[in-house]
Amino acid sequence: MPEDYSLTAESRKLQRWTLEEARSLYERPFNDHLFHAHTLHRANFDPNRVQLSKLLNIKTGGCPEDCGYCSQSIHHLSGVKASKLMTPEQAVEEARNAKESGATRYCMGAAWRSPKPRDEATIVAMVKGVKALGLETCMTLGMLSPEQAQTFADAGLDYYNHNIDTSERFYPEVATTRTFKERLETLAYVREAGMKVCSGGILGLGESEDDRIDMLVTLANLPTPPESVPINMLIPMKGSKLADAAPIDPIAFVRIVALARVLMPRSHVRLTAGRSSMSDEMQALCFYAGANSIFIGDTLLTAANPGDDRDSSLLHRLGLTAETA
């Protein structure tokens, strides 16, 4: 008798996953793994709808962190110059354009270790201005204090993005200027303030398969799993520590997308950085495996993105349509 995949995650929702359990799911035959993931995806979402988000860099470069993948770090000779924080009017105008392109969520990112008190009023004004357009709002600004998290929540911020990047074991190989524990603390402050959490990781940093799996186990075992889980494929950035990193195997990437869907069946799983290097066929497998969110536009912060024409063509060929607000 075939296994009833649709009940697996629901029956486990009050239990914690172990690395061994998650690895056993990940290592199943590819067809079985994808079928399980797609069954759960179909049980929780319309499988032919994809959420469209837009990401705006509201403050570029000059970041004091040493994250090995990032072109905006002052520790890397990437050529990215530091800019001043955008005005609220600039951010809202960009958000208006994003809405006209079909985006329902608008994400704003600043290259900071954490927001400075002098910038909080500007961030609040951006959140309020974008929400007034009818868009969901998301910010990624680095680490937050409990007070900052509450300030942004009170302004109406819907989501806060703070990726854990990789496993706790491998994290010191990626960044040394902050700890894995500090990443989790920010996520806890965001949740306590009443905002939704957006948190995922990056594949291709030199991590092992167990590191990738353990990253997802960490997220799935949070008191409440993130509502949004970005899965990034490293784009090696010139001048960064990982500029010469070897590419990840596409099948391994799809397996992780499927595992994210199995461990967190009710979360949006987003294909994030790296889509410009993915074939249409690889993206199609990811959508089948449970990915149901992408960033539109031709850039992601300082990295390339496929652009609206290629995305529109691919979604049309696959019979996928945009998720409505």
Token look-up 């905006």 returns 72
The answer to whether 197 and 191 have CB atoms below 8 angstroms apart is yes
Active site annotation includes 270: yes
The answer to whether 65 and 178 have CB atoms below 8 angstroms apart is yes
Catalytic residue among 105, 138, 183, 261: 138
- The enclosing H or E element of 92 equals helix 88-100
Token look-up 């357009």 returns 133
Active site annotation includes 286: no
**Residue 312: partners with Cβ closer than 8 Å, 6 or more residues away:** none
Catalytic residue among 105, 270, 275, 286: 270
Catalytic residue among 67, 178, 255, 286: 67
For residue 275, which of 303, 231, 306 has the smallest C-alpha distance? 306
The answer to whether 148 and 115 have CB atoms below 8 angstroms apart is yes
Catalytic residue among 105, 107, 261, 286: 107
Catalytic residue among 70, 178, 255, 286: 70
Catalytic residue among 105, 178, 183, 198: 198
Active site annotation includes 63: yes
In DSSP terms, 230 is beta-bridged to 270
d(CA 205, CA 208): 9
Residues taking part in catalysis? 63, 67, 70, 107, 138, 198, 270
